[in-house]
Structure 1
């Protein structure tokens, strides 16, 4: 009868060591994946549905809720995995490790945390919402989504840029179409020999003829400047729902109507910079002195 063969001691110790590591890794994965799946499949949909019910037609709150819930869920799932792997007591008992981790995260993630806090302030701002047109620094566009680090903006040429939240909170931010109406200002130039009052009347009537132009407040016209070569007239009129109206098209239609109407009325627009001269020119011939031998 053959005796039972035993494994070498070094191999047994190595397997024992790896067995502990694999066991800790297994429980870490189980804890992390389990919590993440529960949160992703149950918690986030339920909380998002509740937030949507309380904030209807507010995509800003809806998008921000999903983003921040995912961040919290990922952090909580990781912490659960660490505890499941048996390192919970290490985190609770070792103040030095916690302080070191806090310091390292503070240095490495300073910009990220700053953007996160800035994103929170942007979400809480009632005048900053998805779908709004904004202007900042050298950029402009429509807000598409607000994330915990950046805000995604669609540019006028249909491009998409990711703007750091800190850039939007640290500098001036303009919302030209943030109200229920928007004022459009246009300037034209007429010749000095034209009837200014008649030109103002025709300009006002042209503004009133626009389909998108509001009757109240009524369009206004005024003489803005007396230039070297022309008189500057200014027209101001209002349009409703600036987010729905195509402001560029409204401006273009107004300019076309002005050109057509002034041509029909015989009013000269934007004369050339060259001056018109009038008067007489005379040429006086002076006798020349001839030199030479007689």
Structure 2
């Protein structure tokens, strides 16, 4: 009958469409897979080896190059798959598609591209390397890797924190452990009626007897502030290679030693209250005789 398609012809059209879709999918996967596998097996290891041999003292560049190579490899493999599937001409000749893709990537990938650029700046910074201890407004820890979007940092609690690269580049970063030695400062509050010079001497000698303190530079002590309720004195001593030491334990040991030594020397630390009362209180007992009742 006119206007109707027979069942064999309809089924043939369906199979033809599926055959075309499967063929395009096959060629896309083939083009993507070949490029990706070759890149992962040969290109990425080769370039990483070259970068490692030229930057043995900077593991940051090695990890960053590996991350960025993988991203570029996925993008190139995807483009190859599209061309292999027969859509290369569409992408090259259609200005509408190119404009739409550009707009979509510009909106959705703004933060991603910002993190990528920030990560590149971190990698290029000679004072920012994997293995460094850093402090930023959100915390502190050791840099483990600079990735495509985030920087991984291991905290003192042995937790791994992923920090957006943009946060590190837009805030001040402190590297307290950037050299072979590190200075520890500890403040002590002493009561006003104590001899400040004697307290300074005892504080300096306590720092000098600490096992982890270096002899050069020698520990010292200084008077920092004449506060409202106490005299603030400060001890300064140096330790070596702080990244291999337990900073919390070192500070705790020093504070315990100061408390013990000041107790032995009779030096009073600042009282916890704002006023220190002194004096004595005498209590006297007063007896009164009562008159006898009249009978």
Deviation (angstroms), 1:56? 1.6
Look up the SS of the partner of 2:85 in the other structure. Answer: helix
**After the TM superposition, which parts of structure 1 deviate over 6 Å for at least 4 consecutive aligned residues?**
279-283
TM-score computed with the length of structure 2 as normaliser: 0.86
> Which residue of the partner structure matches residue 275 of structure 1?
276
Deviation (angstroms), 1:282? 11
Matched residue count: 278
Deviation track 1:260-286 (CA, whole Å, cap 9, x = no partner) reads 222222222233534243489899xxx
Unmatched runs of 5 consecutive residues or more in structure 2 = 1-5, 285-295
| Whole-angstrom distance in 1 between the partners of 2:172 and 2:127 | 14
| Whole-angstrom distance in 2 between the partners of 1:58 and 1:209 | 37
Look up the SS of the partner of 1:174 in the other structure. Answer: coil
| Whole-angstrom distance in 1 between the partners of 2:279 and 2:11 | 113
TM-score computed with the length of structure 1 as normaliser: 0.86
| Whole-angstrom distance in 1 between the partners of 2:136 and 2:65 | 25
Deviation (angstroms), 1:62? 2.0
> Which residue of the partner structure matches residue 64 of structure 2?
64
Look up the SS of the partner of 1:222 in the other structure. Answer: strand
Does 2:74 match 1:74?
yes
Look up the SS of the partner of 1:148 in the other structure. Answer: coil
> Which residue of the partner structure matches residue 255 of structure 1?
255
Deviation track 1:93-129 (CA, whole Å, cap 9, x = no partner) reads 2233212211111111111111111111111112222
- Root-mean-square deviation (CA), in Å? 2.4
Please identify, of 200-209 and 211-220, the stretch whose mean Cα deviation from structure 2 is larger.
211-220
Deviation track 1:214-260 (CA, whole Å, cap 9, x = no partner) reads 33332221222233443221112222222223222221121122122
**Structure 2 counterparts to residues 277-292 of structure 1, below 5 A:** 277-278=278-279
Does 2:190 match 1:190?
yes
Unmatched runs of 5 consecutive residues or more in structure 1 = 1-5, 284-294
> Which residue of the partner structure matches residue 164 of structure 1?
164
| Cα gap change, 1:264 to 1:91, in 2 (>3 Å) | same
